[in-house]
Amino acid sequence: MPKKIVPKNIVKASTGKRIAAYFIDFIIIVLFGVLVYFVFGEPVIMRNNGYYDLRNEATSYIEAPGLVKKAENGTSFSFYDYPAYDEQTQTYGYTKYEDLVWNYFTDFVPNHENYMLMPSGWTSKRDKTALTTITEADKSNPSTVGRWVYENFFQGNYYEPVKDEAGENDYTKKPVVKEAILADVDDLGLLRQRVNLREFFINPSNGSGSYSDAVDNLDYQDYLNLIDRVANFKWYAGFVPSVALAPLIFHFLIPLFVPNGRTIGKLLVGTSVIGSDGYKAKKSAIALHYGILTLMWELLLVPYLVVMILIYFLLVILDYMMVVLSKTSQGYHELASKTIVIDTHRSIWFASESEQDLYVKEHPGSLVAHAVSDEEKPSYSRPTTKEDYGIFDSSMIGEARRKAERITSFDDFEKENELRAASEEEAKQEEEESYSNPDELRDAAALEMTSVEEVEKLQDEESDDFSDK
């Protein structure tokens, strides 16, 4: 059976040191990732692949119909917010909203190829039972388009179609407010009616209304969504090097080639990675140890960035919970790779058991030799013979008979028993002294030195000699 880890040789890293090393590595990876993005990802990949050209095209596409206005930051858009009645200009807000809605659907969309009356995303969002359908082929028919706009955006308690000379509904013209409503609107005292007409187009409490539906139609245009998808892909292409390279360099390549699997964080706080058997870890174990951690970082490459960030931190928390709660102080990536994290300056380890045995043979008075001998001593003496268990059989009885036949006198028999008991007692005392407390062995080794400083110097020299193996 393989030897167990010797406590006096191997000291596992404290949770505080492990967290400090992880935090240092995390900051380095994030800063390096940001540097890669602004030095290479954004100027080289995104800019050269036309990312900003697509964003400008999307901005122009949204701005062209005049349904929305640019926000103060110049990069986003907001709704027009007309009051129910503007006393300074003596205009009603509803008249501006009705113009925006009518002109967008009957004039702008039919005359622009990349705009649709019923974009696919919009129809999937709205209640189709409450929305009459229209085909793109009908865009060239003003009457058909006008009727569709009236039925879906104006029909109700406030508006009615314009009548032609024959008294028929003329859907090529913008609907008008019903005469009864209009009379109330012209009366400045009926503020409530003016508010109702405004809220018919946009309700400030929930954002619903005909104007809001028109803006929603623009937002769900297929061509605009296509521009967004292509632009997002080009942004993603510029984002990939930041996420892929930083963890690969600092959480895989560096610890793979630096002795004892040390990252920059581990070098700074003084921890190392070795095999769970207490000897130097193989390269394959180091690769698996850090490969799992690197894959956790690469989860951020999945397009759902916010969700992946949450999953990443959940995995990190789970890993450290296992470190704190498990008896072996190992996270799942250490259990999978059969490695442990140790305190570099307080541990002495070897490449293999044979190398350790050779060192102990050549340095019998070293602290390592004492620690190994302490580990190999039995903690108690187990019964090994039948006599120890108080069990007798025919062979023991026969031996006792032969001893009795050799007795010449009773005095000789008692003397022989006394000598045998004294010999056994002396042997037992020598055995107990050889199995003394491990701390006494260390004290004995220390007494052979001239000062406490020499003891500490020896311990530091042994640690430095073998921490890089």
In tens digits, the chain (469 residues) has pLDDT values of 444 444 467 889 999 999 999 999 999 999 999 999 999 999 999 999 999 999 999 999 999 999 999 877 767 888 888 888 888 888 888 899 999 999 999 999 999 989 999 888 786 455 544 567 788 888 889 999 999 999 989 988 889 999 988 889 999 999 998 887 777 666 655 667 778 888 889 888 887 888 999 999 999 999 999 999 999 999 999 999 989 999 999 999 999 999 999 999 999 999 999 998 889 999 999 999 999 999 999 988 888 888 889 999 999 999 999 999 988 889 999 999 999 999 999 888 888 888 888 888 887 777 677 766 665 554 444 455 555 444 445 555 566 666 666 666 656 666 666 777 777 776 666 655 554 444 444 444 444 443 444 444 555 555 555 555 4
Residue written as token pair 């704190």: 324
Cβ atoms of 375 and 8 within 8 Å: the answer is yes
Cβ atoms of 392 and 386 within 8 Å: the answer is yes
pTM: 0.65
Cβ atoms of 253 and 322 within 8 Å: the answer is no
Distance CA 117, CA 214 (A): 10
Across 275-290, b (16+ Cβ under 10 Å) vs e yields bbbbbbbeeebbbbbb
Distance CA 371, CA 442 (A): 8
Distance CA 187, CA 241 (A): 65
Cβ atoms of 171 and 161 within 8 Å: the answer is yes
